[in-house]
Amino acid sequence: MKEWLVEATEMSIVVIDVIAFLVIVVGTVVVVVMALRTEIGGSSRDEKRAVWLGYARFLVIGLTFQLAADIIETSISTSWEAIGRLAAIAVIRTFLEFFLERDVSKVRERQHAAREQAS
């Protein structure tokens, strides 16, 4: 029974890591296309910032999937390396999400102020 559980756990780790990889790759391709469009199109600074905030969201999603895979991996492995990797991803994800939310709030405030001025 235990061998089956370990095998299922290892397969789910691989699947979740693939999902994280795909999210980050797709996000990178999307942001490259959007960044080129904003540069060529002469977009405003806020529009360019929105592109990078969108990329940060992709990274947070990817890191969240990696964190999930590492939590599962830690459940079958008690090595300090696995625990350290889990802690590092958790810290990176937390900081990235904190700064992303702060930047999103600033962009929303600017957009709200611009709408009020336009009215």
pLDDT band (50, 70, 90) for residue 32:
very high
Confidence check: pLDDT of 46 > 80: no
Confidence check: pLDDT of 2 > 80: no
Confidence check: pLDDT of 34 > 90: yes
Concatenate the DSSP letters of all residues of 56-106 into one string: HHHHHHHHHHHHHHHHHHHHH---HHHHHHHHHHHHHHHHHHHHHHHHHHH
pLDDT band (50, 70, 90) for residue 115:
confident
pLDDT band (50, 70, 90) for residue 47:
confident
